[in-house]
Amino acid sequence: MIPLAPARRPAHQIRLSRRLASLTGWTLTGACLFALAALMVWILEVVFVRGVTALRLSVLTTITQGTGGGLLNAIEGTLVLSAGALLLAVPFGVAAGIYTAEYRFTRWATTIRFLADVLVGVPSIVVGYFGYVGMVEWLGWSFSVAAGSIALAIISLPYICRTTELALRQVSNDLRDAAYSLGANDRRVILGVCLPAALPAILTGVLLALAVSVGETAPLLYTAGWSNYLWDGHLTHSPIGYLTYAIWNFINEPFAEANALAYAAALLVTGFVLIINIAARFMLDRRARR
């Protein structure tokens, strides 16, 4: 339906000061948007141009040696830590999301939803320091995959919970009614009907949580530590490298080859995060159009 266009006065009948104010308004707001987009382009330009210059095959295939070498250990570590975080966070996060979506009017669901939103806002360094004093020191795990993964899992848990909830809410209530009227109980309705219907959207949410944990630094600095070597397979008492540490540490070194490693790591992390976000956007878009 085309809305009726309201009758408008011709421009010359509007006082000049009002026309000027409007023009200024559009110009300023447009400038804000343009500035934001330009800054985004600037960041991407710095990361991609310097990153591509620094990226060599040897960076992907060799381990770090002092301030040079490659990033194989960091790439492996980022994958191990993020996979560990997802392994821990997905079952709990999805279950919590199911509860807050399917029993959304209970007081407990409201509380969980609210606290998940609050937990998203807890600074990642607080989670990291909690991991340090709690797991590294108090439990005596020292810098380790276990401590790093749990810290990352705490960060991604509320994301997964909330995206699962939003995904389940997209499922039409007719589907639930139909299943209940066929005599299914809560469990059958949720696990057999709602969850499969919401699965693509839930997976998108999990992917976005993966992007977040790949880009995190602060929770890992004092839980995972850093290592120049490949992971030895131990869950505790053995530090592990990761890409974001390489960015932070190697950009502060005075050597060109160390800086190159930082740029390469930044390219890998940013590229991965952007690809996931763009893919998630396309997935959500296609579903919305259907």
Partner 1 sequence: MRAMKFRAWLALIAGILPATLAAIVLFLAFYSWPAMHFNGLGFVVRDTWNLGNLYANPIMRHGTQVQPGATYGILFLIVGTLLSTLIALAIALPMGIGAAIFLAEAVPERLRLWISFFVELLMAIPSVVFGLWGYVVVIPFLGHHFYPLIAQSLGKAIPFFAAPTGSGYGLLTAGIVLSLMIVPIIAATLRDALVSQPASLREAALGLGATRFEALWKVMLPGTRKTLIGATFLALGRALGETMAVLMVSGNALNYLPHRIYDPVSTMAAFIVSQLDSALQDPTGLAVRSLAEIAFVLAIISIVVNALARLLLLVWNNSQRSVVV
- For 232, phi then psi, to 5°, come to -95, 5
Could you say which residues in the range 58-77 bind partner 1, by CB under 8 A?
Answer: none
269 is a contact residue toward partner 1 (CB under 8 A): yes
Distance CA(241)–CA(215), nearest Å, equals 14
283 is a contact residue toward partner 1 (CB under 8 A): no
Among 39, 60, 178, 199, binds partner 1 (CB under 8 A): 39
Could you say which residues in the range 98-157 bind partner 1, by CB under 8 A?
Answer: 98-100, 102-104, 108-109, 111-127, 129-130, 132-134, 137-138, 154, 157
Q: Residue 50 Cβ, how far from partner 1 at the closest point, in Å?
A: 8
- 8 Å CB contact between 135 and 225: no
Could you say which residues in the range 163-222 bind partner 1, by CB under 8 A?
Answer: 163, 166, 185-187, 190, 211, 214-218, 221-222
Whichever of 80 and 98 has its CB closer to partner 1, that residue is 98
Whichever of 76 and 102 has its CB closer to partner 1, that residue is 102
Structure token digits, residue 216: 């995190």
Closest CA to 239 of 139, 125, 137, 148: 148
The residues pairing with 238 across neighbouring beta strands, listed in sequence order, are 144
H-assigned helices in 55-194: 57-61, 72-102, 107-121, 124-131, 145-169, 173-181, 186-187
274 is a contact residue toward partner 1 (CB under 8 A): yes
Whichever of 23 and 232 has its CB closer to partner 1, that residue is 23
